[in-house]
Amino acid sequence: MTTKVLRKIIRIDEEKCNGCGVCVPDCIEGALQIIDGKAKLISETYCDGLGACLGECPQGAITIEERTAEDFDAAAVKRHLEATKPAGEQLPCGCPSATVTQFVRQETREVATGVEAPPPSMLGHWPVQLSLVPPTAPFLQGTDLVLAADCVPFAYAGFHHDFLRNNSLLVACPKLDDFRAHQQKLTEILHRSAVKSLTVVYMEVPCCSGLVHMAKQAIRLSGRDIPLEEVTIGIKGDVKS
């Protein structure tokens, strides 16, 4: 039976919370999740009340209050983290996305029957999903890396021309993907691959800014001084910054 005690525990102001998810990876107990577009404390027993997530909320939606709550349970936290731990990377055997491939693109545009062909793809490798790319992939070695939110290439028409030329690409969604697993993978990539620079291209919607937080944390944890550039794309396809 869970004991209730008077103690310090976090409080989330749902009016201020915009669901960006920045607080989630900073709770090492895994007590926070984004549910229905808002950060939620999934169990009082997982929150130690120390407030490691406080400084990471850009909206100031998280505070510490003292109230009667279920007591913190370190054993329950351990079981919770073990149950939710990402499985080891298993690339689908035989699937084309499992094949790490680097190739050369020819920047030519053919003219046929008087109609100019579409611009060629600037993508120089496969796969591109952050969860599928191994940190030792050859196309990551010494590259200028672009980390793009999943929606960006659909919204911004000039994505290939402006961001892919001579760059390597990783794509991820900070809201729908496993944020913690992605941050760990990106940290390992930056630590092991001698990436020269990192450009984060994300949508103007609030939740997408979590990708920038992911990149900043990964650079810090990698122990390397990597130049970081941020580019915001509007939902109408314009460059905001």
| Whether this model's pTM surpasses 0.85 | no
Tell me the per-residue pLDDT of 104-152, one tens digit each, with 9 for 90 and over.
655 555 555 566 777 888 999 988 999 888 888 888 988 999 999 999 9
Torsion-angle region of residue 81: left (phi > 0), alpha (psi -120 to 50) or beta?
alpha
Q: Would you state the pLDDT for residue 150?
A: 95
How far apart CA 23 and CA 12 sit, in angstroms, is 11
- Locus of tokens 């915009």: 18
Which DSSP string corresponds to 199-229?
EEEEESSGGGGHHHHHHHHHHHHHT----EE
CA pair distance 174, 210, nearest whole angstrom: 6
Comparing 27 with 115, the larger pLDDT belongs to: 27
Class of the CATH domain delimited by 121-233: alpha beta
According to the model, what pLDDT value does residue 31 have? 92
Quick: pLDDT tens for 71-90.
999 999 999 888 876 544 44
Q: Is 219 exposed, middle or buried (0-12, 13-18, 19+ CB in 10 A)?
A: buried
Residue 135: the pLDDT is 86
Q: DSSP character for 162?
A: I
Return the domain boundaries, the chain.
4-84, 121-233
CATH class of 4-84: alpha beta
Q: What is the mean pLDDT of the chain?
A: 85
